Structure 1
Amino acid sequence: MKLFDVIVVGAGTSGMMAAIAAAQSGSNVLLLEKNKRVGKKLLMTGGGRCNVTNNRPAEEIIAHIPGNGKFLYSAFSQFNNYDIMEFFESNGTHLKEEDHGRMFPVTDRSKTIVETLFDQLQNDGVTIYTEVKVEKLLHKEGQIIGVALADQKLYAPCVILTTGGRTYPSTGSTGDGYKLAKRVGHTITPLYATESPIVSNDSFIQKKTLQGLSLQDVSLSVLNQKGKIIVSHQMDLLFTHFGISGPAALRCSSFVNQELAKNPAHAVSLRLDIFPEHTQAELNKNVQSMILEQPEKSFKNALKNLIPERLLDYLLTELELTDITAKKVSEIQLEQFTNLLKSFSITAEKTLPIEKSFVTGGGISLKEVQPKTMESKLINGLFFAGELLDINGYTGGYNVTAAFVTGHVAGTHAAEIAEYTYLPLDDI
């Protein structure tokens, strides 16, 4: 009979941190992974450079986790983003700050982060089994007692599920943890894609009119059925062959999916403001002064450096102002043009599926999880961490931070509970 104090299922971001925290708290830990190697998905984060955390204050980090970030307050009071940075620095892995507080290893290689975690697992004496899949959770009398693999059973008074969501299934994130948790009575809230490119069937997308065009520092808003703004994000945007991508689109995607869930038959309206720092009146004034400078030129040539040429061509074509001389543009036409700059409509049909998104929304219902310990409220000794939980943040190091934080908290408390938990194995 193989007996451990803590078994961690899934050797991703949260799983490795959970195993390290449990081992450093004195537990005999087993880490199970179905891939050949640990940290497969972590190797892909940050474009292969690994955006390991974000150095902004905890309040700001939580504000950037729109999917139930407030659940993390208690966890952050025990272990936070600064502790993550300290963990890597103290292990000789130096980090550097980039835009918006994003932290990367100075090597610019995700491999450095995975190797640091792997080395720590080995130093702490964690037993690692790779290429193994957990078939079911073993429990008795409301107490976890271990896990069953295809060919053997492994026992422990505490099990931590850290199997990830359903994004990038090639990395092993195929939703196993949801099934395991559901079988022991846990509720899985509906899963949806977040941090995902947005698909549109608008004619200018279908005709690829703006494909490949990127806009800097624009504002994208998601509107509800009544036309009210639900959320706005001022960031960069990219037009693609299927719709829109880039940071602004990714951040709006979870809200698009939530609106679609409420009204599946209705596409979601988006509004693009190309000049979020200027009012329409200010834009009118700017455009008028450009006209006055070159009144004899075509309206298009007078506005040459206002916005990218392809976008300008498209907007002028839409308003039938392509061949007009600058001085002949009426006040109404000017108003229509600047209105398009401030309120360019895009229709969102859907986002790319979860499998092609960065983050999974939904997951283990937080009503069934203790925020202080990450332990199940339904089964003693069962813990959850990482993307499996119904928590999702924006890209920029926020999801990885949540994974490290919940992993550490789950590992620490599992080790504490394993110390004094009696395992009812007598008649097994």
Structure 2
Amino acid sequence: MKLYDVIVVGAGTSGMMAAIAAATAGSKTLLIEKNKRVGKKLLLTGGGRCNVTNNRPADEIIAHIPGNGKFLYSAFSQFNNYDIMEFFESNGTHLKEEDHGRMFPVTDRSKTIVETLFNQLEQLGVTIYTEAKVEKVLHKDGQTIGIALEHEKIYAPCVILTTGGRTYPSTGSTGDGYKLAKRLGHTISPLYATESPIISNDHFIQDKTLQGLSLQNIALSVLNEKGKVVVTHQMDLLFTHFGLSGPAALRCSSFVNQELTKNEQHPVTLQLDLFPEVERQNLKKEVNTKFFDQPEKSVKNALKNFIPERLMDFILSQLIMSDLSSKQVSDQQLDQFIQQLKSFKITAEKTLPIEKSFVTGGGISLKEIQPKTMESKLVNGLFFAGELLDINGYTGGYNVTAAFVTGHVAGTHAAAIAEYTYLPDLESD
């Protein structure tokens, strides 16, 4: 009979950290992965460079995890982003800071991060099974007792599920953990795509009028059914052949999906402000001055370099102002033009599906998990970490941070509990 203290299912970001934490605390640990190698998804993060964490204070990190980030306060008090940095630095993997506090390995290679974790697992004597799929979690009288693979059972008083969400299914993230948790009585909050490009059927998207156009430092807002702003993100935006991408669109996507659910899948309105730091009245004055100084010039030439040319052409044609000279523009037309600059409307039909998104929203209900330990409230000795949890953050190292933090906390507490938990009679199992 194979017997361990802690079994970790899924060797991704949170799973490797959970196994390292459990083994560091003295547990005999087994890490099981259904792929041929560990850390397959981690290799893809940060465009293959691995945005390993973020260098901002804990409060700010949690504020960048709009999907239930507050649940992490207790976990962060035990292990946080600075501890993640210290972990890599102390293991000889140096990190560097880029814009918005994003931390990357100096090598600019995800492989460096995966190798550091793998080397730690080996040094700590963690047993690793690859190409092994867990069929179910074994339990008896409300106590976890191990797992069942296709052809064998392996026993342990503590099992940590870290199988990831449903993004990038090619990496093995196919939602297995949700099924395992559901069988044990856990509730799964509906899954939805977050950090996902947005699809629009607006004519200018369909006609590819603005395709490839990149806008810097704009504000993109998601509006609810009543036209009220739900969220605004001031970042860069990219028009694509199917809709919108770039940081502003990705950050708004989870809110688009939530509004779609509330509105019974009716399209959601987005509002684009090209000059978020300029008040409407001041913008009107600025445009008026340009017209006044160049009365004979066409509107387009009077406003040269004011906004990207293709967007200018599109807005002017929509307002039937393309052939006007500056002096011909009425006050009403000027107001309409300013309206387009400050609240250009785009219709969001949906986002790309979870499988093509960066992060899975929804997951195992947090009401059924102890925030201090990541242990199930329903089954003793069962723990969860990483993207399986109903927690999701923006891109920028926030999701990887949440995965490392929850993994470390789950591993540490599983090791502590395994020390004094006696398995029931297994022979009769």
- Write out per-residue CA displacement over residues 217-255 of structure 1, whole angstroms, 9 at most, x where no aligned residue: 000000110000010000000000000010000000001
Equivalent residue runs for 1:302-381 within 5 Å: 302-381=302-381
Query: Which runs of 5 or more residues in structure 2 are unaligned?
Result: none
Offset at 1:314?
0.3
Question: 3-state DSSP class of the match of 1:11?
Answer: coil
Structure 2 matches for 1:99-248, cutoff 5 A? 99-248=99-248
3-state SS of paired residue (2:272): strand
Query: How far did 1:426 drift?
Result: 4.2
Distance 1:123 1:326 in 2: 73
State the SS of the aligned residue for 2:108: coil
Corresponding residue of 1:24: 24
1: distance between equivalents of 2:291 and 2:122?
69
Q: For 1:283-298, what aligned pairs fall within 5 Å after superposition?
A: 283-298=283-298
Query: Partner letter of residue 191 of structure 1?
Result: L
Q: Which amino acid aligns with 1:112?
A: T
Moved more, 377-386 or 257-266: 257-266
Letter in 2 for 1:87: F
SS of 2:78's partner is coil
Q: How big is the shift at 1:86?
A: 0.3
* Matched letter for residue 283 of structure 1: L
* 2:230 alignment partner, SS class: strand
> How far apart are 1:427 and its partner, in Å?
2.2
Q: Hey, what does 1:427 align to over in structure 2?
A: 428
- Other structure's SS at 1:410 match: helix
1:324 Cα deviation after fit: 0.5
Partner Cα separation in structure 1 for residue 239 and residue 295 of structure 2: 32
Partner of 2:391: 391
Amino acid at match of 1:261: T
Report the equivalent of 2:50.
50
* Cα distance between partner residues in 2 of 1:296 and 1:47: 49
**Which one-letter code corresponds to 1:183 in the other structure?**
R
Q: Distance in 1 between matches of 2:346 and 2:185?
A: 42
Could you list the per-position Cα deviations for residues 295-335 of structure 1 after superposition, in whole angstroms to 9, with x for gaps in the alignment?
21110011111000000000000000001111111111111
Q: Say if 1:265 and 1:373 are closer, same or farther in 2 by CA, change over 3 A.
A: closer
Residue 292 of structure 1: how far off its partner (Å): 2.4
Q: CA RMSD in A?
A: 0.6
Q: AA paired with 1:173?
A: S
Deviation of the 1:293 alpha carbon = 2.6
Q: What SS does the aligned partner of 1:96 have? A: strand
Distance 2:280 2:262 in 1: 32
How many angstroms apart in 1 are the aligned matches of 2:144 and 2:198? 41
SS state at 2:19 partner: helix
Q: How many residues align?
A: 428
For the residue of structure 1 that corresponds to 2:147, the secondary structure is: strand
Cα shift readout 1:56-95 (whole Å, capped 9, x = no counterpart)? 0000000000000000000000000000000000001000
- Aligned mates of 2:317, 2:364 — CA distance in 1: 49
Q: Report the alpha carbon displacement of residue 386 of structure 1 after superposing the two structures with TM.
A: 0.1
Worse-matched range after superposition: 68-77 or 286-295 = 286-295
Distance 2:41 2:427 in 1: 39
Give 1:275 shift: 0.4
- Supply the AA of the counterpart residue of 1:205: I
CA distance in 2, matches of 1:293, 1:109: 53
- Equivalent residue number for residue 77 of structure 2: 77
Aligned residue in 2 for 1:9: 9
What letter is aligned with 2:387?
E
Q: Partners in 2 of 1:213 and 1:183 — Cα distance?
A: 47
Letter in 2 for 1:383: F
**3-state DSSP class of the match of 1:144?**
strand
Following the alignment from structure 2 to structure 1, what is the Cα–Cα distance between the partners of residues 227 and 297?
Answer: 38
Bigger Cα displacement from structure 2, 125-134 vs 329-338? 329-338
TM-score using structure 1 length: 0.99
The answer for the alignment partner of 1:39 in structure 2 is: 39
The one-letter amino acid paired with 1:141 is D
- 2:144 counterpart SS class: strand
Q: Separation in 1 of the partners of 2:162 and 2:276? A: 41
State the 4+ residue runs in structure 1 displaced beyond 4 angstroms: none
Post-superposition Cα deviations, 1:359-405, rounded to whole Å, max 9, x if no partner, equal: 00000000000000000000000000000000000000000000000
TM-score (normalised: structure 2): 0.99
> How big is the shift at 1:265?
4.0
The one-letter code matched in structure 2 to 1:85 is M
Query: The residue matched to 1:103 in structure 2 has which SS?
Result: strand
The whole-number CA distance in structure 1 between the counterparts of 2:270 and 2:300 is 26
1-side partners of 2:88 and 2:199: how far apart? 38
Question: Could you say what secondary structure the match of 2:59 adopts?
Answer: helix
Task: State the SS of the aligned residue for 2:137.
Answer: strand
SS in 2 for 1:249: helix
Paired amino acid for 2:428: D
1:253 maps to what in 2?
A: 253
Instruction: Indicate the SS of the match to 2:125.
Output: coil
